[in-house]
Structure 1
Amino acid sequence: MRLRVDVLPGEALPYPDVVLVVDVIRATTTACCLLEAGAEALYLVAGLEAARAFKDRDVLLAGEVGGLKPPGFDLGNSPREALEAPVGGKVVVLSTTNGTKAAHAAARTAKHVLLASLYNAHAAARLARELASEEVAILCAGKEGRAGLDDLYAAGVLAEYLGLLGEVEPEDGARIALSVKRSYQDPLEALALSAAAQALRAVGLEADVPFAAQVARSATVPLLTGRVGEALIFRRAHPGQGG
């Protein structure tokens, strides 16, 4: 089984099999928490106007611009807020600066797209392994077109656990991510040094960083199940449901 890590999305990157999309601070952590809190589905869209087009009585809008909740949105992009949000039975439309765009990049060619973070790392890795036939790719969202230490670290955690699940053939990107993971004593040390964490501190949302640094706290994995218009539809899945 090939194991691949891409440090940033790219227009020309093909994905023949399974992709784990990682935006650990904060979109993929928040997505997991929204489904864990009872949302019926997540609609991931690449922009704010696309999100607003879905606004309805039974639809909530979540997202961020510069780390903060956009005007007219119901929720921001905080996983702490998401876990406590009254989203039961509702569709949540999520638009963020980096993570939702990375998910769209993966969905162009991949057979299966999963949203992974440290928070659901072990469950996401197990489900990816169940679904994959030839390759598991980990796609880091990065931050505004630049590589992110937080995502590379999370990719290393996923890569290491995938190696424990069975024999894998790591490509160079995976080896880089593994080296990054092994360079830090604990997840919070790596995440706190990232540009994403620094940006959250600047807007008073630094409490989201230690939350996002929790490893394997959830068995919920957002799995791409379809599309509607410009939105990718993700629903809650668990290891053992990979068929």
Structure 2
Amino acid sequence: MSIVGMDAEVPAGTVVIVIDVIRAFTTAAVAFERGATDIVCAASVEAGRDLRRLHPDRLLIGETGGLKPADFDFGNSPFEMSTARLDGRRFIQATSNGTRGLVRHPSPAALLAVSARNVGATARWIGKHHAMTPCMLVCTGETAEDRACATYLDDLLRGAEPRREDLIAGIMDGAAEHARGYARQPAAERVDLSRDLPFCCDVDRSAFAMVGEIRQDHVVLARVPC
């Protein structure tokens, strides 16, 4: 089992677990909790727009530079998802790291999206379906939260009992890194994570894995109870 960055080469036939805690796959998990039926993950904002033109009934969610594009229905925000009526709706999601990282793996044994919110369910799904298959944990960001989630999941898969407090501390460290980066941006380009962080830190709230089905130019995530 290996923890790698988004640009690492991942061998075919590996279980690929793509991690984005702040905020793409926390947003996706909350959307599923609120009744979304599936989420098409696009490699870029433009690819998301192209898919929306093909499927105008789908809601388009995501970000560029952390902020919601004007023509998107929602930003990359679990808080926004938590206040929306989403029962039966289908989504297209396009983000700078999470969805872009998800579509980079054409030949995995299985492909999963994970955040702290569904990390335990993800471990259970892998243990049930791919216990003997090599795994690669892909951190799509360079800040502390994705590495903390990967370490926590790695421990679960190895049969250890990691501490939630350590994972939450790693997420908060990552949020502080994001905040320092945004503070250097012009005011109009800064992202306020304060309403999203409680959702990002809510470990194991979602009792489902998010399993990807690979299509020609995108990945469709489905909610799989565990």
* TM-score when normalising by structure 1: 0.80
Please give the alpha-carbon distance, in whole angstroms, between the structure 1 residues aligned to 2:153 and 2:179. Answer: 20
2:46 pairs with one of 21, 46, 49: 49
Q: Which amino acid aligns with 2:10?
A: L
Compared CA separation, residues 15 and 148, structure 1 to 2 (3 A): farther
What residue is the counterpart of 1:16 in the other structure?
13
Judge conservation of contact 2:106–2:214 (CA < 8 Å) in 1. Answer: no
Q: What's the offset of the Cα at 1:43?
A: 0.4
Name stretches of at least 5 consecutive residues in structure 2 with no aligned partner: 184-189
What residue is the counterpart of 2:178 in the other structure?
196
* 3-state DSSP of counterpart to 1:77: coil
Instruction: Give aligned pairs, total.
Output: 215
Q: Which amino acid aligns with 2:143?
A: G
Please give the alpha-carbon distance, in whole angstroms, between the structure 1 residues aligned to 2:181 and 2:196. Answer: 11
Please give the alpha-carbon distance, in whole angstroms, between the structure 2 residues aligned to 1:237 and 1:35. Answer: 10
Judge conservation of contact 1:42–1:92 (CA < 8 Å) in 2. Answer: yes
Compared CA separation, residues 131 and 17, structure 1 to 2 (3 A): farther
What residue is the counterpart of 1:220 in the other structure?
208
* 3-state DSSP of counterpart to 2:51: coil
What residue is the counterpart of 1:130 in the other structure?
128
% identity of equivalent residues: 32
Q: Which amino acid aligns with 1:104?
A: V
Superposed CA offset, 1:121-142 (max 9, x none): 1001111222213212211101
What residue is the counterpart of 2:187 in the other structure?
none
Bigger CA drift: 54-63 or 187-196? 187-196
Q: What's the offset of the Cα at 1:88?
A: 1.9
Q: Which amino acid aligns with 2:85?
A: P
Compared CA separation, residues 207 and 15, structure 1 to 2 (3 A): farther
What residue is the counterpart of 1:35 in the other structure?
32
Superposed CA offset, 1:84-122 (max 9, x none): 3222222200000011111112x3221211111111110
1:113 pairs with one of 111, 114, 117: 111
What residue is the counterpart of 2:66 in the other structure?
67
Compared CA separation, residues 11 and 157, structure 1 to 2 (3 A): closer
1:236 pairs with one of 207, 212, 223: 223
Q: What's the offset of the Cα at 1:24?
A: 0.5
What residue is the counterpart of 2:138 in the other structure?
139
Q: What's the offset of the Cα at 1:193?
A: 2.2
Please give the alpha-carbon distance, in whole angstroms, between the structure 2 residues aligned to 1:206 and 1:235. Answer: 28
